Amino acid sequence: MSRLTGLAFTDVDHLRREHFTTDEEGQLWIHKPREKTSVMSRVPVLPQAVALLEKYRDDANCQARGKLLPVPSNTKMNAYLKEIADICQIPKHLTTHLARHTFATLAIEYGMPIDIIAKILGHTNTNMTRRYAKISEANISREMRRIGKVLTA
């Protein structure tokens, strides 16, 4: 869920129905204060995340625990990710926090402005967000082409 929303592991774990609203256009949103800083995260929910929430809507284990998703401990989740990386021969140390970085990187890659990403991640300023967002050569190249078009016009 972190990769789809940019939420930190603990924020996903603490998600409750009251954190969800629907706007006048029918878009589902998460409005949740971050556990770490209490800064409000405002996240439009992607269809893939809605499907994930729907999958566990009637899950007895989730209901018994008062959770929306069957989130194990962060340690256990990271152990699962390590196992997946080993099986798939991924030479990267996968963690739940890496999913948050992945979200920010993909958002930058697809042209989302850094100040909007900061709001989604619940950062108080964009300097914190810049640490998450890795700018790729493809992104740099795309932006240079845009400038080139302006200069030749």
Give 21-63 pLDDT, tens digit per residue: 999 999 999 999 999 989 899 899 999 999 999 999 999 999 9
* pLDDT above 80 for 134: no
Mind listing the pLDDT tens digit for each residue in 86-105? Answer: 999 999 999 998 988 888 88
* pLDDT above 90 for 111: no
Q: How far apart are CA 57 and CA 61, in angstroms?
A: 10
CA angle in degrees (0–180, nearest 5) for 128-117-13: 85
**SS3 call for 20:** strand
Looking at the structure of the chain, the number of domains it has is 1
Query: Domain span at residue 56?
Result: 2-152
> 15-21: long-range contacts at Cβ-Cβ below 8 A with a sequence spacing of 24 or more?
15/67, 15/68, 15/69, 16/66, 16/68, 17/68, 20/45
Q: How far apart are CA 12 and CA 5, in angstroms?
A: 9
> 127-136: long-range contacts at Cβ-Cβ below 8 A with a sequence spacing of 24 or more?
129/104, 132/100, 132/101, 132/104, 132/105, 133/104, 133/105, 133/107, 133/108, 134/101, 134/105, 134/108, 135/108, 136/105, 136/109
Distance of CA 103 to the CA centre of its chain: 5
For residue 22, list its beta bridge partners: 28
* pLDDT above 90 for 85: yes
Residue 70 contacts residue 59 (beta carbons within 8 Å):
yes
For residue 1, the model assigns a pLDDT of: 86
pTM for the full model? 0.79
* pLDDT above 80 for 138: no
| Tokens matching residue 42 | 């405002």
For residue 135, the model assigns a pLDDT of: 72
**In the chain, what percentage of residues exceed pLDDT 90?**
58
Q: How far apart are CA 84 and CA 127, in angstroms?
A: 32
Q: What CATH number does the domain containing 67 carry?
A: 1.10.443.10
